[in-house]
Chains A and B, each alone.
Chain A
Amino acid sequence: MKRPHSLVLGCGIVALAILFNGMAAFAGSTTATLTINATVSSRAELTLSPTSITFPDASPTSSPTVAANSTVAVTANVRTASTSTATLTALANGDLVSGSNTIPISNVTWTATPSPFIAGTMNKTTAQSAATFSAGSGSYSGTYTFSMANSWSYNTGSYSQTVTYTLTAP
C-alpha cells in the first residue's frame, strides 16, 4: 500500500533532477548591463572674421564718426559647468600708433548684435567685457560693428594697433 507513494517520490526526484539539468543547460544570464560613461571638460573656442579692420580717412567736420570698412563676425563656443559662466573680454595692446603719433584707443567703440554680445569702448589698461553669457555651455554667433571718433587733432599717418579678445570657460 505504500508502494504508490514510493513511486511518486521516486519520479519526483528524477523529474526535479531533469528540470535542474535543463536549466543548467542555459546557464548564464539573459540580461546584461552595459555602463556608459562620458567625460565633458571645460573648453572655449573663439573665432573672429575678418581679423583686421580699417578706418578710412574722412573729414572730421562732415564725418565726426568713421565706420570701419567691415563688421566683424564673432562665434563663441563654450563648455563649462552648468553653474559656471563664461566670459569674453577685449583688451587693446595700446593706442593707435603711427611712428611717434598716437590716437587714443578709447576713441574706438563698438556695437554688438545679438545678445549675449554687448557694446563697448576700447581700453588699453582694463579688459572690456564683450559679452554677458548665461551660466552653462552654449554656442553663440554675432556681429561687432566698430567706429572711431574723428578729430582735426589727429596727425596724418597710418595708424595701427592690435586688440586681444579672450574667451574663458571656467
Chain B
Amino acid sequence: MRNRIKNRMTGAMLGIALLGSVCSVSFAGIGGSLTISPTSISFADANPTTNPSITANSTVLIGIAVAGASSTQAWSVHGMANGDLNSATSSIPISNVSWTGVQSSGNCPSGHTCICDNGTMSKTTPVNLINGVANTQTGPGFQCTATFSMVNSWSYDSASYTQSFVITFTSP
C-alpha cells in the first residue's frame, strides 16, 4: 500500500512538472499582434509617358505589438507576394511594386531600435517591412506607414490585375 501511494504521488509530481513545463513555454515565447489598414490598395490607370510611376490610392498602416521577447531577441515583419499581378490573360511582374516605410507612431524600448524598411515586392523571397529587437511599446505597439508605388509601362496590356501580398510576423 505504501508503495502504491508512493507511486501515485511520484506520478502526480511528474504530471505537475510536465504541466509546469508547458506553462513556462507559453510564457517564454515571443508573440506579435499584427494589424494592417486598409487591407486593399489600388493603382489607377495612368499615362506611362507622363507618369512613369504610380502611387497607390492609399498608404497602408502596418502595426506590430510584440510581447514576450527578451531584450536581445530580434523579430521582423516581412511580406511576400503570392505571384505577379495577374489578369485573366496577362501579368505585370510583382517586382514592379515597391514601397517606402516611415515610422508613424509607437516606439521600442530605450536602447533598441525598430525600423520601417523600404522594399520591393518579390514572389520568391520574403522582404522586410519592419524589424526590431525586444518588446514594442504596449498598446498599439510600433506602427509604420507604407507608401506603395508601381512602375508604369506601355508594355502592360489593358486589363484589371490583382494579387495578394502576405505580411507575416516572425522571430527566429
Contact = CB atoms under 8 A, between A and B. Distances in A.
Contact of A36 (B11, B68, B164, B168): B164
Interface string A6-34: 01100110010011001101111111111
A77 B42 CA distance: 24
Given A4-B9, A29-B33, A34-B79, A22 B159 contact: no
Given A1-B4, A39-B43, A82 B150 contact: no
Interface in B36-92: 36, 39-45, 47-49, 56, 60, 65, 67-68, 79, 81, 85, 89-90, 92
A44 B155 CA distance: 12
12 contacts: A4-B12, A7-B12, A8-B12, A29-B34, A31-B34, A32-B34, A32-B36, A33-B165, A34-B41, A35-B162, A36-B163, A137-B158
Interface string B106-145: 0000000000000000000000000000000000000000
Contacts of B155: 137-139
Interface of B: 4-5, 8-9, 11-12, 15-16, 19-20, 22-23, 26-27, 29, 31-36, 39-45, 47-49, 56, 60, 65, 67-68, 79, 81, 85, 89-90, 92, 97, 148, 150, 154-170
A24 to B, nearest CB: 10
Contacts of B32: 26, 30
A137 B163 CA distance: 21
B163 A136 contact: no
A128 B3 CA distance: 107
Interface string A63-80: 000000000000001111
Interface string A34-45: 111111111101
Nearest to A140: B154
Contacts of A18: 23, 26-27
> What is the predominant secondary structure among interface residues of chain A facing chain B?
mixed
A83 interface: yes
A139 B47 CA distance: 13
Sort chain A's interface into a size bin: 35 or more
A11 B162 contact: no
Contacts of B68: 25-26
B154 A78 contact: yes
Given A7-B16, A8-B16, A40-B160, 7 more contacts: A30-B31, A30-B32, A31-B34, A36-B163, A37-B160, A78-B154, A138-B154
B12 A83 contact: no
Interface in A113-149: 136-139
Given A19-B26, A34-B79, A81-B89, A28 B35 contact: yes
B11 A4 contact: yes
Contacts of A8: 11-12, 15-16
Contact of A82 (B41, B90, B148): B90
Contacts of A78: 154
Given A8-B15, A36-B41, A36-B148, A137 B169 contact: no
